[in-house]
Amino acid sequence: MTATASDGGSNITAIFTEKFGNSLVQHCPEIGFVAALIPQSGVSPATYVIEWVDVTTPLPEGSSTSSLVPAPGGFVSTLGTGIFKEVEVNSIPVFAWVEETAEENGDVEFWIDSTDDADSTCA
Express each pLDDT in 88-110 by its tens digit.
Answer: 888 877 888 999 887 887 777 66
| 118, part of any domain | no
- Provide, for the chain, the percentages of residues in helix, strand and coil under a 3-state DSSP scheme, each rounded to the nearest 5: 0, 45, 55
| 66, part of any domain | yes
Number of domains in the chain: 1
The answer, yes or no, to whether the previous bond of 29 is cis (omega within 30 of 0) is yes
For 119, other C-beta atoms within 10 Å of its C-beta total: 4
The pTM (predicted TM-score) of the whole model is 0.74
Characterise 82 by phi-psi region: left (phi > 0), alpha (psi -120 to 50), beta (else). Answer: left
Residue 71 has phi, psi (to 5 degrees) of -140, 170
| 6, part of any domain | yes
Distance of alpha carbon 96 from alpha carbon 110, whole angstroms: 10
CB 91 within 8 A of CB 85: no
| 61, part of any domain | yes
pLDDT tens digits, one per residue of 28-70:
677 778 888 999 998 899 999 988 888 888 999 999 988 887 7
CB 2 within 8 A of CB 10: yes
| 22, part of any domain | yes
| 120, part of any domain | no
Residue 58 structural domain: 2-113
When pLDDT is cut at 50, 70 and 90, the band that residue 122 belongs to is low
Q: Which residues pair with 88 in a beta bridge?
A: 93
